[in-house]
Structure 1
Amino acid sequence: MTDWIDIGTLSDIPPRGSRTVNLPGADPIAVFRTHDDRIFALVNRCPHKHGPLSEGIVHGHAVACPLHNWRISLETGEALGDDRGCTPTVAVRMTGDRVEIAVPMKVAA
């Protein structure tokens, strides 16, 4: 069974932007809203140099890491283009206008 946490409404996340959710005992989670109001969640850490993805620019369904411009798929967490690596995804769902994320397990650094 999955435990879900309500993190606010869709309007709490800026279009083409993100917000960070800190949960006790878990890695910070970046929750993204795309131009078409889809919601995605990733561990807030680029697979390259661990840059804070929540501070990156959202383009379509990808985010550019603010440190070295690696593009990360919001759907899969995979690095795009010639880059290689993966950021863990976190399950997210909408219940009405409320955004909920699955309680993630601790991810090893």
Structure 2
Amino acid sequence: MHDTLSRTAVPETADATGPELLEAGFRLVGAASDVPMLEGRRATVDGQRVAVFRLPAGFAAIDAHCPHRAGPLYDGLVADGCVTCPLHNWRIDLASGRVAGQEQVVGVHEVIERAGQLYVRLGASACDRGGDCDHAGEPAAGAA
């Protein structure tokens, strides 16, 4: 999997199988074992890059890039339910997408693990909420 996931809303049946998850809008992104504890990985879901993290309580997924200078959030340090951008230390809450001390937020996506596989369903990304992004869901060059 090498790249990884996101977070949003669970289908009504908590026992949903792979085909049922796909019908509900989730996309298979890889094996859960490919995401080490308290680390992130990146993936592309329906053309949008996301970062997937393994936390003690499960998985979380957000947009892959920091709203400050497009730092790779999947390479950030994870602690206390947050990831710290490796470029300029902006701290992002993995549950809400809120950036500590800033007005910016990143998109939060839903991640489900079934039979050792991770599925992600895209939520509203920062681009969908009026952020400055290009067509691939990445911040536009020069966005500050």
In structure 2, the gaps of 5 or more residues are 1-22, 134-144
| Rounded Cα–Cα distance in structure 1 between residues aligned with 2:82 and 2:75 | 13
Count of aligned positions = 106
- Work out whether residues 107 and 123 of structure 2, in 8 Å CA contact, stay in contact via their aligned partners in 1: no
Measured on the aligned residues, the alpha-carbon RMSD in Å equals: 2.1
Normalising to structure 1: TM-score of the pair? 0.83
| Rounded Cα–Cα distance in structure 1 between residues aligned with 2:88 and 2:77 | 12
Report the AA paired with residue 83 of structure 1. Answer: Q
Moved over 2 A (4+): 103-108
Larger Rg: 2
Out of 40, 49, 52, the residue aligned to residue 31 of structure 1 is 52
**1:8 aligned to 2:30?**
yes
Out of 43, 46, 67, the residue aligned to residue 63 of structure 2 is 43
The more displaced of 95-104 and 46-55 is: 95-104
- Work out whether residues 108 and 123 of structure 2, in 8 Å CA contact, stay in contact via their aligned partners in 1: no
The sequence identity of aligned pairs, in percent, is 28
Offset from partner CA, 1:4-50 (integer Å, 9 cap, x none): 112223211011111110245x221111112x151011111112222
Normalising to structure 2: TM-score of the pair? 0.65
Residue aligned with 1:86, SS: coil
Q: 1:75: how far off? A: 0.5
- Work out whether residues 16 and 58 of structure 1, in 8 Å CA contact, stay in contact via their aligned partners in 2: yes
In structure 1, the gaps of 5 or more residues are none
